Structure 1
């Protein structure tokens, strides 16, 4: 077999779907004192809440983070109540404050080790980006849910997401996550997810 044929047969990570059995959702810094400054904050938060509800219906673990909560306050209640655990941090990269260890202590739906992280948060060019880069360095596959990410300025958000794609993360939408976790309309939780997907976002 030639080297060219081997290259053609190699799996392309971009062609793979998110594995619901080995996924966790991480929601970064949707904090009460930060969100009023975020561009299009209501839509960003609504997408994050929908994403968390989808994860919970699918049995996917959800972890939140809060940057210096003594100064920025806790996450918005709608986010905090949907997280199985919330990690307080001082580094912009939550991995420097134990996120990778927290993820490795969990198991996916069927008991598999968590190898894939679906992530969203604020600010997209600071804490979200640095945390996602940390997860990539730790050897995890990273899927960034673009509509649920925000920054104070739209151009900074775009720069952060662009850098993450170049680093190896994959930018996706909320519905893409839902349907890749489901895989089939025969999935036992398909009907339970439909109302979440049909409800209009702001």
Structure 2
């Protein structure tokens, strides 16, 4: 039997990682590191990327190190601006509709208790599988984060880590892209450790 991926129809959601928020968000650089890792994996595994900004005319573009929708950077299925807190804008919904009826949606970004939570709940209500990456989300007030994650678990969201999700997404060391994913994991080993120690303290 041919090697198959464990997670079917995955899509990566990057929520409002804008430069303007850098000074305000708890451990913002760590969230960026996790987003970068998942963006690299998305290119290897051909996972569509949905990105949003919150009121970009006032709050500015996404962080430049993510390289979203720039020449030679990560091309997104949709990169939409919004005033909604949920990422499910008409543009995002249209892009999702082209991918099939049930997606496995993995979310990173900010803020955990507002835009990430509302996006996750909307996706659940529409029948999608939802993963929120604990080492890839944050808020201005760090105390909001565990409360939001606990609520999301109770709603049916899978709260997991970026490395766990990557291995689950691949599911089989026999798939063609596994060596490249292992490369991403190895190259980000120290930063993953640092991020977990700051964003996922027990």
TM over 0.5: same fold? yes
After TM superposition, the structure 1 = structure 2 runs for residues 142-153 of structure 1, keeping only pairs within 5 Å, are 142-153=130-141
1:113 Cα shift? 4.6
Give unpaired runs (5+ residues) of structure 2: 195-202
d(CA) in 1 for partners of 2:150 and 2:63? 27
1:47 to 1:140, Cα distance in 2 relative to 1, 3 A: same
1:102 Cα shift? 2.2
Aligned to 2:62: 75
d(CA) in 2 for partners of 1:61 and 1:103? 9
After TM superposition, which residue ranges in structure 1, 4 or more long, deviate above 4 angstroms? none
Aligned to 1:182: 170
Aligned to 2:11: 24
Q: Is the 8 A contact 2:8 2:104 kept in 1?
A: no
Q: CA RMSD in A?
A: 1.7
Aligned to 1:11: none
How many pairs does the alignment contain? 180
Structure number with larger C-alpha Rg:
1
Deviation per CA, 1:87-108, whole angstroms, max 9, x where unpaired? Answer: 1111101225443332112x3x
After TM superposition, the structure 1 = structure 2 runs for residues 10-159 of structure 1, keeping only pairs within 5 Å, are 19-79=6-66, 80=68, 81-84=73-76, 85-105=78-98, 107=99, 113-159=101-147
Give unpaired runs (5+ residues) of structure 1: 1-17
1:180 Cα shift? 1.1
d(CA) in 2 for partners of 1:62 and 1:104? 14
Q: Is the 8 A contact 1:31 1:74 kept in 2?
A: yes
TM-score for the superposition, normalised by structure 1? 0.83
TM-score for the superposition, normalised by structure 2? 0.83
